[in-house]
Structure 1
Amino acid sequence: MYLNCHTYYSLRYGTFSELDLLKLAQENHIRQLVLTDINNTSACLNFIRRAPEYDVRPLVGIDFRNGVTPAFIGIAANNQGFQELNEFLSDHLHNEKSFEAKAPAFENAFVVYPFETVLKEELFEFGDREFIGISVRDLRRLPFSRLMRFKEKLVVQQAVSFRHKRDYNTHRLLRAIDKNVLLSKLPPEEEGSEDEKMYPLENLVRAFGDYSFILENTERLLQQCQIEFDFSLERETQNLRSYTGSMEEDEQLIERLCREGLPYRYPEPSQAVEDRIQKELELIKAKGFVSYFLINWDIINYARSKGYFYVGRGSGANSIVAYLLRITDVDPMELDLYFERFINLYRINPPDFDIDFSWRDREDITQYIFKRFPNVSLLGTYVTFQERGVIRELGKVFGLPKEEIDALTKGEYETSRLDSIARLVVQYMPLLHGLPNYLSIHASGILISQHPITYFSATHLPPKGFPTTQFDMVVAEDVGLYKFDILAQRGLGKIKDTLEILHYNQPEAAAQVDLHDIKAFKLDRRVNTLIKTAQCMGCFYVESPAMRMLLKKLEVDHYLGLVAASSIIRPGVSKSGMMREYILRHRNPGRAEERAHPVMLDIMPDTYGVMVYQEDVIKVAHHFAGLDLGEADVLRRGMSGKYRSREEFQKVQDKFRNNCRNKGYSDQLIDEVWHQVASFAGYAFAKGHSASYAVESYQSLFLRAYFPLEYMVAVLNNGGGFYRPEFYIHDARMQGATIHPPCINKSYAINRIYDTHIYLGLMYIRDLEARSMQRFLAERSQKGPFKSLEDFIDRVHMSREQLSLLIRIDAFRFTGINKHELLWKAHLMLGTETRTEHPKLFGARPQHFRIPQLRTRSLETAFEQIELLGFSLCSPFELLEETPKNKHGQGDMERYLNRNIDLYGYLVTVKNTRTHTGKRMFFATFIDQQGEVFDVVLFPPVAKKYNFRGKGIYRLYGKVVSEFGFLSIEVIKMQKENYIPDPRYSDMKTAPRLLQNKDLLKGRNSRDIGSRN
């Protein structure tokens, strides 16, 4: 009887989930209802999937509104009607069109016009599929309206948006947040009606007792509607089922591609390789995944034709077919990758292929996919209200001052001392927390389906300009849609750019580099030494302090060790406590046999009986707990995100424990193994995935080992990495580069290397406008280098303010003229001129100025660089107010082992974390006076006393300790050192002169400084 029900996917309007709606229907004895969210279909598929559990017959539609003003309601008569409604909504969302008062003539959908809308718009002609909705509140006016003559068109339209007063209050807060107004200023027309509630069926029938024909019309309408989607485990995939248009041709094509790829990957294939190929192909065909593989092959084939670098990873990297098709570069035979993680008879969804491209190339790849294949869309996701954001929004809605809002967001309050308004913020925060806020885009997911996407969902059009579903990946998989993951990654941009830089800086060396010769990289001693010594600055996935520490502790000096480290570093292994245990077993032969359960050691001998990879969950569940492979995969998937709450996961979890007890395992052992599974499975990598990461790491490390300067320039030009740009610049200097500030004749927008000289890019100059930069770079490209400041001013239109930035950073130093003199010249030449954007046909007549000789001190330059670049090019230790008391550094730590050391460090990065008891502590990385990196830790008692106060140099006193050979300092005392006062402003003796100079800048006494001839 309810044709107009809303969930919280009626964004910033509705207040509860689709499951809450079903529960509400069950409580009120409602056996069928229509979900019609406002301009949204996000909840529809999950509503249909879960409705049978509540003994509810689900129907779906859309409440079409302009803002919150109702136009009409569309109700799908069948799946084709749902598609019609989705296409109609998508068209309006994509083109930002308002809804007309009159609905189009849908072929498979019904339209219900609200009572008020009919009267307001004077709609008195209705088609066969059009009706007039009457709410309980409308019944008072119905007898006196002209609509009584349309008896056969009247149906019940009692909107359902709230369950109780609290929901209504939450709704009003959402509306105020949406309109960005104080709650007291929220216009009444922006709110729903408080009586938009669900009444028990008997009450609703009683309310319409005098109008039984309305109830009959409504029932008749509902009986004409039916919506069905297959959510069973045996469902057919909804992805594009054939790549070529024929399943038979697909199978022939994939076999041919495997044969063509075999000589490249395995010049002399063994029988084991042939058997693996055959086994995979048979299963891929049986499971209907052929087109999925071929589409991924098509995408990377296009990328290779364009010269794009890419990395294929995910569970699909365990596949030899993917290796032969060059979707991945991971050899599953070499790594003995677990076949059943990739595919098995029980698996419903295809294997994951996460394909990384350079951040510059991904857009073109996405464009290609949308042009190449039918029925393509991006996958949606929801950004939800989070605690701090909710508090901030509610604070604004209730009119709290900023300082009070800030205190609430930081949790700096005692509830008993809050005033009534602040208490309301705290009271309503949990009600909004977790509600959908707005639609966004999945980080990488693209759907390519057999049906048009609108068969499943309306689409919206985010700023990226590609249609995007209104549901997320979990719902997509429920209905049989599996995403293709196309990701952007700066690491690949670094690799690609390094090769381009080599072509102009070392062309002969560039010709010798084959970045795909991974086998040679794995055996390269210089590369493996970098890994063992953790000299990995700028290299993909291995440059962070945590990874650097792990590499040293594990003494990694080969590819397989790096594969393991790539997964061990993930949060789950560390959380379970097994990272430390893995290191202990790795460094102490025999410990694994002593500590590991024999079954666990037998299952995972390569990782000492410790669960490291995602497939270890499947192995343990299958071999240790006796689950079948399908149940084991449910367990693996259930360890992450929304899947954990699924009923099927709960059943498998219970079976895991019961099977273990039946095998005679102790409760202590069962708990220990389950703790490992539960704590890390959602975070761990598949081994093939880790191996793919390790391949890219080796490519990065090879370039760093043999072409460190070119590589570091590429790192900087791709936005850096884990650290700030100044530390990559520092690393390049340590590798032998000479670093130059920007120069108008040598620099580009990005960094540029000439032999061993690196000229910083103009992009670093704070406040330099892109158009100013582009203008003078274009002029230089067309007509050659600039000869002088005067030549620059004649050739380039640029404001005095923009030109002064270039002079202050010393970009005109090639002239040999002090920059203070150049600033005077620029002022006197541009000070009274009205500049046009048109270049001069003839150069200006030379102008001569008599300017007193001025000097620039090196310290002034350093502070100028800090202001304009964000860092100085001199050593920061040269800027200290007090000279360091010692020269201690990283090189002294070994001889101070287990003793206290006093040393100075320039802060690189800080990790603020908490212990398992919630106490704050810090891990930090510094650079010493010799330019070497060292690490410190501040445990809670010290962290409570000392805080990091931003960039700068700290004096540290603490104990040098070693953990598995990794040296660090446990800080006892810490103090931030002061820089000298900025010499540009600190010399007060020059103040009168500076004030006089300000007058001169205004044109006074100009003949005392210089005159124009």
Structure 2
Amino acid sequence: MYLNCHTYYSLRYGTFSEIELLELAKNNDIHTLALTDINNTSACLNFIRKAKDYDIHPVIGIDFRNGPKQVYVGLAKNNAGFQELNEFLSHHSENKLDLPELAPQFDNCYIIYPFERVLQLEKENFSEHEFIGISIEELRKLRFSKLKTFESKLVILQTVTIRSKKDFNAHRLLRAIDKNTLLSKLDKVEECRLTDKMSSLKDIQEAFTDFPHIIENTNRLLSNCQIEFDFGADRKSQNLKLYTDSTENDYALLEKLCQENLHKRYSCPDDIVLARLKTELDTIKSLDFVAFFLINYDIVSYANSKGYFHVGRGSGANSIVAYIIGITDVDPIELDLYFERFINPFRASPPDFDIDFSWKDRDDVTDYIFKRFPNTALLATYNTFKYRAVVRELGKVFGLPKEEIDKLSKGNYRASDLDDISSLVLRYGKLIEGFPNHLSVHSAGILILENPVHYYSATDMPPKGFPTVQFDMIIAEDVGVFKFDILGQRGLAKIKEALEIIAENRPDEPPIDITNVEAFKKDKNINNLLKSGGAIGAYYVESPAMRGLMQKLQTQDYLGLVAASSIIRPGVSGSGMKDEFIKRHRYPEHRKNAHPILMKIMPETYGVMVYQEDVLKVANQFADLTLGEADVLRRGMSGKFRSRTEFIAVEEKFISNCRKKKFSDNLIFEVWDQIKSFAGYAFAKGHSASYAVESYQSLFLKCYYPLEFMTAVLNNGGGFYSVEHYLHEAQKQGAEICLPCINTSEHQNKLVGTSIYLGFGYLKNLETYTCQRLLTDRGLHGAYSSLDDFIDRVTISIEQLTILIRVDAFRFTKQTKTELLWQAIFKLNANGTNSQQAKLFKIKHKGFKLPKLNNNWVENAYDEMELLGFPLCNYFSLIKEEMKNGVLASQMKDFIDEEILIYGSLVTTRFNKTSQGKLMRLSTFIDVNGDYFDAVHFTDVVDKYPVNGLGVYACFGKITDRFDFYSMNIVWSNKLTILSDPRNN
């Protein structure tokens, strides 16, 4: 009976989910229902999937609207009709075109024109697939309208947008947010009607008692709509099925690639390698994943042909086939990677291949994929309303003052002090929280499909410039659409640029084979960077937490780094097993604490679950679950799982099987709690190993080419730390940091000998065109000989020239900044801008006799902080206060469990939450010698002693020792004042 129902995927219009819509229909005895969101198909596939649970026959379509004006409703007769509707909507939304007043001639769709629209259009001719929709409210008008003669064309069009007055209020608030207007000024045409809700089957039949033909027409139309998608275990892969022209040729190609590349990976492949290869190939073939492997190989081959670096990771990194044909660089035999984590006969989905490229190369790779393969689209993700953000939006809608909005959004209020409006804001904020706000693009997912993209969804065209479906990863996997993950990261760009700088600066040296990771793994100097915490700048291993963990573990080999990469994840940390692993690793006597069965299953990690596949192993070998059941657990831990009932059934079987094996409940639930702690966080071992390969490549460059590497780090957006800190690290490696220079610097940083010249890109207010003109003229006509020469050659305003002078970019002239500023003011035109017209003759500049004008180094530091965001001098040299009785970071080991004072320059700080949900702060400092120390502000002091930006802090606290890694628990801290700018005195 209902042909036009909305969910909250009618963005900033609808008020409930597709599941709540089905519940509503069931409660009203409705057995057939059409979901037609406004210009959106996000909920369609899940609506079909869940409809059978409510014994409802699903119909899907689209409510086509231009702004708030409904032009017609389209319903799909079948899958081909859904594709037609999606193609039609996508064409208009991607090209930002208004929908036509009259719908096109669809072959597999019904079109319902609203009663009022038909009257406005004076439409009198209707195709076989076109109908007139009429609501209960409009029946009184029908009696007096000529449209009542179109008996075969009239159907019920009772729109469903709300369930109650509360929903209607939420709807109005969403509309006001969407239109960015006060609620009191919201135009009525933007709102639904109070009557746009669902009545029971009995009530709607009674309403149309005098028009039985309308009920019959509606039922006939709905019964003619049949749409089918397979879900869950019954689904078939919707990905591109063939890479060549047949399954036989696909498999022959994959086999050929393995044979051609086998000896590149294994010079003398033994029986273990050959057996693993055969098993994998047979399984890949039997599960019909051959094309999936070949497509990933194709993508990587294109990248290699362009000289792009890549890292293949994910569970697919456990595969020997992927290793041999070059998708990954992780040897599963060396690492004893668990085959069944990557692929097993119970697994319906192909393995995950996350393929990382440089952030500079990723867009080109994506463009290649779209050109190379038909039926390609980006995957969507839903940006939802977050509570604090929606409270701010509602505050604006109600017209509250900014101070009140700030107070509500930050939670700085007492409920008893709130007026009615503020209470409404909070109440509806809770209601709207979690609603989808707008569609966005998944960070990595690309779909390469067998059928046209519009067979599944309408598409949008976001700024990335590639069509994007309107559903997310969870829905995609439910229907058998498995994404290819193509990611961009800066670590690979750092490696590539460092190699380019080395080749340019050291032309006589032989080229570096950065793929020679086996040699890097055995290099003691590189491994020493890991255990000493010297990995600043290296991908994935530079954060304070990771550096601290490696120092605790005394990580000094590849396998240790692989383990550390996974142990750092919240799953292992949260279960308390991180400390247990460190104990068992550092002190062998603690290994006896492991249960013998767990020790046997996971000898490499001393009986501690560290990797995702450990969940599979323990479930299979400890609890006697089948690999299929174990994979249910693994998927449940990944955060992608949909069927809680299936997961709970496996949990119950896990416990039951363990009890049958006479394990104690203490042991059973200890192991089960470890498994649960992995939820959403654990890495596959091959995934960790892939990260470790890239880390070793970075560490090799950091160890032997530190200045080139740090320059590349700076030029690619750094990483975990600030620009200022990477410059500090470069200085520790022997670099001289030079301010921008108009004759040497580029837009990015430039390494000249052992000097790193800062790039013009750091100058916050220097305009792009100024930089382009400066560099272009210098490239064409050579270095600038003086300020006069620069003014003659570069069109520049006094404001822009002042920036360059204040940052000392003209220091080659040997004149002070003050002198140069005076000259610039005199020599530029009176209007403050150099003429745009090229000069026919070189003008003669007047000379001025100026008194001696000196600069103070503190003034320079303030100029640098203003223009660059940081000073080149050490913060300690700027401190105004006397620093007394301070201890150095290197002496912390002598004061364990004692309270001491250390003066530290802040490197980085972040909040963390305790298990009770309270805030604490983790900070990293360097002392006056440049050595690191970590400090913890626990909940009792975190608010009392805030950390307010970069600078030097007096840190007083108790020194703790965790596995020979020393840190401070803050008792009190305060930021020291710095010297004032002498120009302000």
Deviation string 1:166-211 (CA, Å, 9 cap, x unpaired) is 1111111100100011111111000001111111111111100000
Are the counterparts in 1 of residues 638 and 679 from structure 2 also a CA contact under 8 Å?
Answer: yes
Following superposition of structure 1 onto structure 2, how do residues 165-314 of structure 1 map, counting pairs within 5 Å? 165-314=165-314
Q: Is contact 1:750–1:760 with CA below 8 Å preserved after alignment?
A: yes
Q: Distance between the aligned counterparts of 1:889 and 1:790, measured in 2?
A: 50
**Corresponding residue for residue 51 of structure 1:** 51
Deviation at 1:911, TM superposition (A): 2.2
Which residue of 2 is the match for residue 625 of structure 1?
A: 623
The question of 1:351 aligning with 2:346 is answered no
Q: Deviations over 1:401-431 (max 9, x none)?
A: 1111111111111112100100001111111
- SS of the counterpart of 1:856? coil
Distance in 1 (alpha carbons) for counterparts of 2:393 and 2:660: 54
Q: Given the alignment of the two structures, is residue 569 of structure 1 paired with residue 568 of structure 2, yes or no? A: yes
* Residue pair 1:747, 1:762 contacting (<8 A) in 2 also: yes
1:473-531 deviation per Cα after TM superposition (whole angstroms, max 9, x unaligned) = 1111111110000000000110001001111122233x341100010000011100000
- Superposed, 1:130-149 pairs within 5 Å as 130-149=130-149
494-503 or 941-950, which deviates more: 941-950
- The 3-state SS of whatever aligns with 1:683 is coil
In structure 2, the residue matched to 1:23 is: 23
Give the secondary-structure state (helix, strand or coil) at the position aligned to 1:940.
coil
Aligned residues: 984
State whether residues 796 and 839 of structure 1, in contact with CA within 8 Å, keep that contact through their aligned partners in structure 2.
no
What residue is the counterpart of 2:652 in the other structure? 654
Structure 1 partner of 2:118: 118
Q: Are 1:521 and 2:520 an aligned pair? A: yes
Q: Which among 763, 783, 786 is matched to residue 785 of structure 1?
A: 783
Deviations 1:521-546 (A, max 9, x none): 00011100000101010111111110
Task: Give the alignment of 1:785-824 within 5 angstroms.
Answer: 785-824=783-822
What's the CA shift for 1:842?
2.8
Query: Which residue in the other structure is 1:614 paired with?
Result: 612
Any residues of structure 2 matched to 1:660-675 within 5 Å, and which?
660-675=658-673
Give, in whole Å, the separation in 2 of the partners of 1:259 and 1:101.
60
**Contact 2:829–2:835 at 8 Å: present in 1 too?**
no
SS in structure 2 opposite 1:13?
A: coil
- Render the CA deviation track for 1:430-475: whole Å, top value 9, x for unaligned: 1101000000001100000000010000001111110000000111
Superposed displacement of residue 849, structure 1: 1.6
Match of 2:428, SS state, is: helix
> By how many angstroms is 1:149 displaced?
1.4
State the alpha-carbon separation in 1 of the partners of residues 200 and 782 from structure 2.
83
State whether residues 617 and 681 of structure 1, in contact with CA within 8 Å, keep that contact through their aligned partners in structure 2.
no
Structure 2 residues not aligned, in runs of 5+: none
Structure 1 residue runs of 5 or longer lacking an equivalent are: 987-1013
Contact 1:76 1:225 in 2 (8 A): yes
Equivalent position of 1:502 in the other structure: 502
944-953 vs 556-565, which deviates more?
A: 944-953
Alpha-carbon contact 2:503-2:511 (below 8 Å) kept: no
Cα deviations across residues 248-297 of structure 1 (Å, max 9, x unaligned)?
11101000000111111001100110111100000001001000000000
Paired letter, 1:591: H
Matched residue of 2:641: which SS? helix
Opposite residue 343 of structure 1, the aligned amino acid is I
Give the match's secondary structure for 1:437: strand
Q: Residues of 2 paired with 1:898 and 1:477: CA distance?
A: 53
1:676-695 correspondence to structure 2 within 5 Å: 676-695=674-693
The verdict on how the C-alpha distance between 1:163 and 1:515 changes in structure 2, with shifts beyond 3 A counting, is same
Once the two structures are superposed, the pairs formed by residues 562-601 of structure 1 within 5 Å of their partners are 562-594=561-593, 596-601=594-599
> Aligned AA for 2:127?
G
2:751 aligned with 1:756: no
The Cα of 1:644 is off from its aligned counterpart by 5.5
Tell me the SS of whatever aligns to 1:643.
coil
Contact 2:904–2:953 (CA under 8 A) maintained in structure 1: yes
Q: Does the 8 Å contact 2:886/2:901 carry over to 1?
A: no
Contact 1:926 1:933 in 2 (8 A): yes
Preserved CA contact (<8 Å) 2:791 2:834: no
Give the 3-state SS of the residue equivalent to 2:933 in structure 1.
strand
Amino acid in structure 2 at the alignment position of 1:962: D
Q: Which amino acid aligns with 1:119?
A: L
Aligned to 1:912: 911
Give the Cα separation in 2 of the matches to 1:182 and 1:598.
67
TM-score by length of 2: 0.99
Question: How much does 1:891 deviate?
Answer: 2.2
Q: Distance in 1 between matches of 2:424 and 2:348?
A: 48
Q: Give matches, 1:715-864, under 5 Å.
A: 715-832=713-830, 835-864=834-863
**What is the SS of the residue equivalent to 1:843?**
coil
Structure 1 residues 930-945: aligned runs within 5 Å: 930-945=929-944
Deviation at residue 847 of structure 1 after TM alignment: 2.1
Residues 926 and 978 (structure 1), Cα distance of their counterparts in 2 relative to 1, 3 Å cut: same
Q: 2:658, 2:894 → 1: CA distance?
A: 51
Asked whether the 8 Å contact 1:276–1:320 carries over to 2, the reply is: yes
Q: Which residue of 1 aligns with 2:875?
A: 876
The answer on 1:87 being equivalent to 2:87 is yes
Alignment partner, residue 471 of structure 2? 471
Q: Which amino acid aligns with 1:420?
A: D
Native 8 Å contact 2:391 2:409 kept in 1? yes
- Superposition deviation, residue 225 in structure 1: 1.2
Q: Deviations over 1:567-602 (max 9, x none)?
A: 0001111111111111112122132322x2222222
For 1:70 and 1:393, the matched residues in 2 are separated by 26
Residues 653-680 of structure 1, C-alpha deviations (whole Å, 9 max, x = no match) = 2322232233322322222112111112
Query: Structure 1 915/681 Cα, relative in aligned 2: closer, same or farther at 3 Å?
Result: closer
Structural mapping, 1:445-456, within 5 Å: 445-456=445-456
SS at match of 1:239: coil
Matched residue, 1:547: 546
Q: CA deviation at 1:831?
A: 4.3
CA shift, 1:944, in A, is: 4.3
Encode CA deviations 1:90-145: one digit per residue, 9 max, x unaligned.
00110011111110000010100011111122222110100000111111111111
1:321 is aligned to 2:332: no
Residue type of the partner of 1:881? K
**Alignment check: 8 A CA contact 1:635 1:652 kept:** yes
Give me the whole-angstrom Cα distance separating, in 2, the residues matched to 1:495 and 1:102: 57
Per-residue deviation, residues 588-626 of structure 1 (Å, max 9, x unmatched): 2132322x2222222111111111101111111111222
- Is 1:639 the counterpart of 2:644? The answer is no
Distance 1:944 1:436 in 2: 34
Whole-Å Cα distance in 2 between the matches of residues 152 and 704 of structure 1? 78
- SS of equivalent to 1:639: helix
Structure 1 residues 802 and 285: CA distance shift in structure 2, 3 A: same
SS of structure 1 residue aligned to 2:941: helix
Displacement of 1:221 after TM fit?
1.0
State the match for 2:409 in structure 1: 409
Q: Is the 1:156–1:214 Cα contact (8 Å) retained in structure 2?
A: yes
CA deviations 1:376-419 (Å, max 9, x no partner) are 00001100001111111111111111111111111111112100
SS of 2:149 mapped into structure 1:
helix
| Paired position in structure 2 for 1:1010 | none
Q: Percent identity?
A: 58
Secondary structure of the residue aligned to 1:508 is coil
